[in-house]
Homo-oligomer: A and B are copies of this chain.
Amino acid sequence: MFSKACEYGIKAAIFIAINSYENRRVSPKAIAQEINSPQAFTAKILQELVRNNIVNSVKGAYGGFEIEQTNIKNIKLSQIVKAIDGDKIYNGCGLGLEKCDETHPCPVHDKFKDIRDNLKYMLEHTSLDELAMSIQAGESFFKT
C-alpha cells in the first residue's frame, strides 16, 4: 500500500509531533530507535518532510526535528503520503493505465475508485494530532 519510506515517514512525523508537544527536538537516531527503522534512511525521509514544510529542522547544537505545535492539528496524513509517495495512490489507475479516466476506464475502475476515494478521504481527514494522541494514550504502538 504505502512504501517503506512512507511508513517510516508517517511514524517519524507522529513521534516528532509527540515530542514537539513537550517542546523537545528529536534526532534521526532517536526517531529511528523509537519507530524501529534504519537510521540513515530515515534521515533521508526526514529531509523530504522538511522540504515539504511538514516538519522543521534546526541544525547545530541543540538542534533536531520539530513541528510547530499549532500546526500539528492541521497536518493531515495525506500531506505526508503525498510528499513521499506522490499522489498516484489517489489518482492512479488500479491496473496501471497511464491515467485513471472515467471516460476510458480499466476493467476495475468503478470498484477500485470507491476504495481509492475512501482511502483518500481517510488520509485527508486524519490529523497528525489524533495519531500522536493515540500513541501517548498507550492505545497504539510504533513497533511490535
Contacts and interface: CB of A to CB of B under 8 A. Distances in A.
Contacts of A58: none
Interface residues of A, number: 42
Q: How many copies does the complex hold?
A: 2
A122 interface: yes
A111 B111 CA distance: 20
Given A1-B94, A2-B94, A144-B99, A135 B118 contact: no
28 contacts: A1-B1, A1-B89, A1-B92, A1-B94, A2-B94, A2-B95, A4-B96, A7-B95, A7-B96, A11-B95, A14-B107, A77-B108, A95-B142, A97-B143, A99-B144, A101-B144, A106-B140, A106-B142, A107-B131, A107-B140, A108-B126, A108-B131, A114-B118, A114-B122, A115-B115, A115-B119, A115-B122, A118-B118
